[in-house]
Amino acid sequence: MKGIIFTEFLVMVEKKFGLDMVDDIIQKSEVPNQGAYTSVGTYSHNEMNALVKALSEKTGIPNSALLIVFGEYLFQVLAVQYPQFISRTNSVKDFFTSIETYIHIEVRKLYPDAELPSFDSKTNEDGSLELIYTSERHYGDLAEGLIIGAMAHYGEGKLLKRETLPDKSVKFLIH
């Protein structure tokens, strides 16, 4: 995983729970680099799992809820740091249909070693948007948070359904 995910996770933890909590979860998780992440570095997703688990244990908030909140937060951060990905779209549907055809192509130019999830999208006959999130890291909760963040950003859409598919991909239905 790219370091920006780690650095922004720790920033979010500091904003929501304080600097002492950041120190506590870094210590508790026993991540190899003691929490010294760079935004352009690449790190194991197992380190993120350990940080989230440590935060969950310290706060009593389930991992899934923490990842959803982080996804919402992360969308806002990425919208500010990479406005070129947001400014060219006018809706949730436009944004998610541009992920594979534009955003991930541009991200790979910046970070050739990035292991990106996929968001396959299709519009159903009733106008709803179906998204299939696929990743070897299985961060469906983080994807849900990103979707919620996008819906808030564009002021539209409602997540109607989330379903884990047999291959562990996650299908989201947005209306």
Q: Is the pLDDT score of 62 beyond 90?
A: yes
What is the mean pLDDT of the segment spanning 37-61?
95
**Site of tokens 């729970």:** 17
pLDDT digits (tens, 9 = 90+) for 125-164: 998 999 999 999 999 999 999 999 999 999 987 877 999 9
Least confident stretch, 13-27, 50-64, 92-106, 138-152 = 92-106
Q: What is the pLDDT of residues 76-98, one digit of tens each?
A: 998 998 888 888 888 888 898 88
Residues composing the chain: 175
What is the predicted pLDDT for the residue at 105? 87
List Cα–Cα distances, 71 to 2, 112, 125, 126, 132, in angstroms: 15, 23, 28, 27, 16
Report whether 123 contacts 129 (CB < 8 A).
Answer: yes
CB-based contact 48:2 (threshold 8 Å): no
> Once rounded to an integer, what is the mean pLDDT over residues 11-20?
97
